[in-house]
Amino acid sequence: MLIYVRKDVPSPSNANQPATTSQGSKHGGVMVEVDAGTVSPPPRAQEVVNSLNAAHDMACDAYAKR
């Protein structure tokens, strides 16, 4: 299972380190550190997110016009 999370906000203590995320499994999987800047969701998932965002924006515009 792949879970997308927010990148860490750089603080003074880790400002020079790139944001990373770990992927692995509880069942003996190997933990791999991945540069979070290069990870992106699958295209179909991104299309769903974009569609939901567009519907939300339209609903907000309709509400604002009231």
Q: How far apart are CA 51 and CA 44, in angstroms?
A: 11
Amino acid identity for residue 66 in this structure: R
Answer for the pair 35, 16: CB distance below 8 angstroms, yes or no: no
Q: How far apart are CA 37 and CA 14, in angstroms?
A: 16
pTM of the model as a whole = 0.43
The tens digit of pLDDT for each residue in 7-62 reads 665 666 655 555 555 555 555 656 666 666 677 889 999 999 999 999 999 999 99
Domain boundaries, the chain: 20-65
Residue 59, H or E segment: helix 43-65
